[in-house]
Structure 1
Amino acid sequence: MNLLYANDKAGEYPPSYYAATMAPFDRQPPLQGDVAADVCIVGAGYTGLSAALHLAEAGLRVVVLEAHRVGFGASGRNGGQVGSGQRLDQDTLERMVSRAEAAKLWQLAEDAKALVKSLIADHAMPVTFHPGVAHACRTKGEVKAAHHYADRLARDYGYSQLEPLDRNGIRALIGSEAYEGGEIDWGAGHLHPLNYAIGLAKAALAKGAVIHEESAVLELTPGDPVLVKTEGGVVRAGHVLLACNGYLGGLEPKVAAKVMPINNFILATEPLGDRAREVLSKPVAVADSRFVVNYWRLSEDGRLLFGGGESYGYRFPDIVKTVKKPMLQVYPQLSDVKIDYAWGGTLAITVNRLPCFIRPQPNVFSASGYSGHGVALATLAGKMMAKAVQGQAEGFDLMARLPQHRFPGGPSLRQPLLVLAMTWYALRDRLGL
């Protein structure tokens, strides 16, 4: 079964709140015939569209191939949070690499957030960046650790954007009794993810990139040029950039061995009206400290967008049932609220939750596996791959040096082993460990 078609209609966005409120964007024609390009990009999410924009700005001939629609995958379905740092904290990164390399990784993440904001402004995108992401901690120990880490970031990395919250502060912010404290990161933020993808696509098209939707790639043939085959034609390209993330399938086995697709789900309530301030007293996004993270924010029309729950197979479960349970654990007062939208999507994780940057074949680059931290990092990854194609690979190579491991068990066992591990961590969440 192909994840590209397991839960979605060909060439259609999922029935999400984002699709219902998307900015206008004309369908782009499928690939037909034999075409040449300096660079062919597979996937029109943040990574691929950012790469297309930066390559087109440099004057290269760019062709983007997308199996469905622009922003169809995780880029158009996610929680919209633009977080700080890497997926792992700086303490862990310093142990994994070195203090100097960890500092470079922190700066790259800061550059990623700045890039998102500058692209939105420079290209007049149909999306607003809203500052503020809160971290809600379940236990007093987690609160203490979070506040200590905030002090460390201020002291050692010069990052002073974290506002600590005690028990009263977090409850005043989120209107829930479920948490003991936390913090607000005012240097992070949130946005409408599909409209951001559409903004990137429009900017890339304006600079001369070509995008072909409904053009699933069937085969890559190494060589000079690399041949990229779809049902309707072939692109002959000097370089190929793989920007497929959780929808890669078996297109490139060396990437697939290190990047695993998982599914995540979001509900959108009816507009809450005056009750919205009972959910969030400030217009920030929230993520909690569970291993299977709950995350939420208010939409611009006052709906609660609440994400939670994961699955590891091909078919989505009952999404309303899956997500409504954790939503009501946080907000039991919303039991009477109508659910207007429910959707799922496929992201990609790696063993250590750091992105996988790799050159799997000559003249082929790949970046994926953002592990739920991809809005900013995927945008920067696209720019890094664009630079690498032009011979400026410092950023790409820094990320490629991060240790990445194959999922244990090979293709036949990696999914059952992942389910076993995730079930254990989900049990720890339920037990409050």
Structure 2
Amino acid sequence: MDILTANDRTGEFPRSWYADTAEQPAPQPVAVGDLACDVCVVGGGFTGLSAALHLAERGYDVILLEAHRVGWGASGRNGGQVSGGQRLDQDELEAMVGREVARGLWDIAQESVQLIRDLDARHDANATFVPGIIHADHKERFVAHSHAYARKLQDDYGYSAIRTLDRAETCKLVGSEAYHGGTLDMGAGHIHPLRFAFGLARACRSAGVRIFEMSRVTDLTEAAPATVSTEQAKITADHVILGCNGYLGNLQGRVASRVMPINNFIVATDPLPDDLVATILPDRLAVADSKFVINYFRLSEDNRMLFGGTESYGYRFPKDIAAKVRRPMEEIYPQLRGVGISHAWGGTLGITMNRMPHFERLRGNILSASGYSGHGVAMATMGGKLAADAVAGQAEGFDLMAQVPTTPFPGGVLMRWPLLVLAMVWFSLRDKL
């Protein structure tokens, strides 16, 4: 199964609320012939666009190759939540890599949120950062841990933007009786992700990046210099940055064994009436809950519910995404039962075994950053910057991220999917029971 074409038409953005509310940039040319550059970036999502932009601003000659259109993949289809911290909690990271490295990982993650805000403002992306993400506990027994973790961040990391929520305040802020408590992080927030991607692409072109769309990479020769081949071009580059995430395919086997594609789905409802909006997320906060298969949701600027979650057990999207996502949405919001759904779309992200990103220097001049595991809006953008810094000789941040161990999936590339299916069935049943 070809993950790049399994669920979408070549070069066409899926019909999503994001695509309908963002001004698409003009198509870029296809790469043709023999080309040369300082750095070849593979992938036109947040990682690739950020890497290309930061390198071009340093004076590097950069080529960016995208198999479809910039922002076409998960970067333009996700929930838009700009989360602080890493994908794993700090206490888990401290046990994994020690307190000093864990503190460095925390600092990188917090910087990534500010990076989003800075890039949005500097390049007039109109991504519209809205502060506030609620972590909502769907089990009463989870609340004590959430509150203890918030206190840890306050006490050990000096992070004052997070506070605890009891059941009553959670229900009021979420507009639902489905949750028992949680935390509110006002240092995090949410954006329009596709507008942000398009803004980065415009900034790249202004900085001199040569962007080639509809230019799928078919081969990578890892040498110095490296050779990147597409169906119609051969690019010789001193450095290569892979920012492919869930769409890597078999381009690089070592990364593919550690980063696996998985699908996730979002719906947008019809605009909700004002009286309903006043009781559903009245402060326009975003929510991510405590289920293993996370539900995440927020209101759009035109008062639609943007609700994401659910999983699929195969490479292909389900035939009726709207019906699949409607079920958990109506469980949390019975008052939305039967509401019209105007858009329903899916996307493919990359996950790792331990849910931490996979950063790796494959050889001295080839870097890869991917596997953000649903935590990629901020960290993928930061991942591109860190890769750019590493190419420029300032590798401390990239190397720190690369210290986090990411083991191969059991059974390698061939067995990773069926084993994940078994695991997801188990965790889904655990969520329900």
Tell whether the structures are fold-level matches, with TM greater than 0.5.
yes
Q: Shift of residue 362 of structure 1?
A: 4.4
CA distance in 1, matches of 2:256, 2:101: 26
Question: Residue in 2 aligned with 1:260?
Answer: 260
Segments of structure 1 that go 5 or more residues without pairing to the other structure are none
**Pairing 1:85-96 to 2, within 5 Å after superposition:** 85-96=85-96
- My pick for the range that moved more, 287-296 or 316-325, is 316-325
User: 2:308 is matched with which residue?
Assistant: 307
Distance in 2 of aligned mates of 1:24 and 1:367: 26
The alpha-carbon deviation at position 339 of structure 1 amounts to 0.4
Aligned partner of 2:377 in structure 1 is 375
Q: Matched residues in 2 for 1:116 and 1:346: separation?
A: 22
Deviation at 1:223, TM superposition (A): 2.1
Q: Could you tell me how far apart the structure 1 residues matched to 2:313 and 2:351 are? A: 11
1:335 lines up with 2:337 in the alignment: yes
Is 1:177 paired with 2:172? no
CA distance change for structure 1 residues 216 and 38 in 2, over 3 Å: closer, same or farther? same
Give the aligned partner of residue 397 of structure 1.
399
Residues 348-357 or 328-337, more deviating: 328-337
Q: Deviations over 1:293-320 (max 9, x none)?
A: 0000000000000001012421101311
2:351 to 323, 344, 349: 349
Contact 1:261–1:312 (8 Å) recurs in 2: no
Paired amino acid for 1:290: K
Partners of 1:259 and 1:413 in 2: how far apart? 13
- 2:21 equivalent in structure 1: 21
Q: Quick one: distance in 1 between partners of 2:398 and 2:312?
A: 31
Query: TM-score by structure 2 length?
Result: 0.98
Alpha-carbon distance in structure 1 between the residues aligned to 2:23 and 2:131: 21
Q: 1:205·1:211 contact (CA, 8 Å) conserved in 2?
A: yes
Q: Which one is further off, 388-397 or 45-54?
A: 388-397
- C-alpha separation in 2, matches of 1:163 and 1:352: 26
Q: Conserved in 2, the CA contact under 8 Å of 1:241 and 1:385?
A: yes
Matched position secondary structure for 1:375: helix
In 1, the alpha carbon distance for the partners of 2:177 and 2:400 equals 42
The CA deviation at 1:390 is 1.2
User: 1:375 & 1:190 partners in 2: Cα distance?
Assistant: 9
Partner of 1:237: 237
Q: Which residue of structure 2 lines up, in the alignment, with residue 9 of structure 1?
A: 9
Please tell me the residue identity of whatever aligns with 2:339: V
How far residue 153 of structure 1 moved from its aligned partner, in angstroms, is 0.6
Counterparts of residues 71-86 of structure 1 (less than 5 Å): 71-86=71-86
Aligned to 2:366: 364
Q: Using the alignment, how far apart are the partners of 2:337 and 2:140 within structure 1?
A: 28
Shift of 1:23: 2.3
SS at structure 2 position matched to 1:106: helix
Q: After superposing the two structures, state which structure 1 stretch, 339-348 or 267-276, moved more.
A: 267-276
Contact 1:23 1:126 in 2 (8 A): no
Partner of 2:279: 278
Kindly provide the amino acid, as one letter, of the partner of residue 140 in structure 1.
Answer: E
CA distance in structure 1 between the aligned counterparts of 2:150 and 2:303, rounded to whole angstroms: 30
In 2: Cα distance, 1:300 partner to 1:219 partner: 42
Q: Give the Cα separation in 2 of the matches to 1:354 and 1:25.
A: 32
Does residue 199 (structure 1) correspond to residue 194 (structure 2)? The answer is no
Code of the residue aligned with 1:327 in structure 2: it is: M
**After TM superposition, which residue ranges in structure 1, 4 or more long, deviate above 6 angstroms?**
none
The residue type equivalent to 2:197 in the other structure is A
**Aligned equivalents of 1:25, 1:90: Cα separation in 2:** 39
Which position in structure 1 is the counterpart of 2:412?
A: 410
What's the offset of the Cα at 1:276? 1.7
How far 1:211 moved relative to its partner? 0.7
Once structures 1 and 2 are overlaid, which stretch shifts more, 124-133 or 244-253? 124-133
For the Cα contact (< 8 Å) 1:286–1:297, is it kept in 2? yes
| AA in 2 matched with 1:229 | S
**TM superposition shift of 1:283:** 1.2
Report the residue type matching 1:26 in the other structure.
Answer: A
SS of alignment partner, residue 369 of structure 2: strand
Please state whether the residue corresponding to 1:5 is helix, strand or coil: coil
Q: C-alpha separation between the residues in 2 aligned to 1:124 and 1:411?
A: 40
SS at match of 1:279: coil
**What is the percentage of aligned positions where both structures have the same residue?**
58
Instruction: Give the Cα separation in 2 of the matches to 1:277 and 1:307.
Output: 21
Whether the 8 Å CA contact 1:109–1:377 is kept in 2: the answer is: yes
Q: TM-score, normalised by structure 1?
A: 0.98
Count residues in correspondence. 431
SS of the residue corresponding to residue 293 of structure 2 reads coil
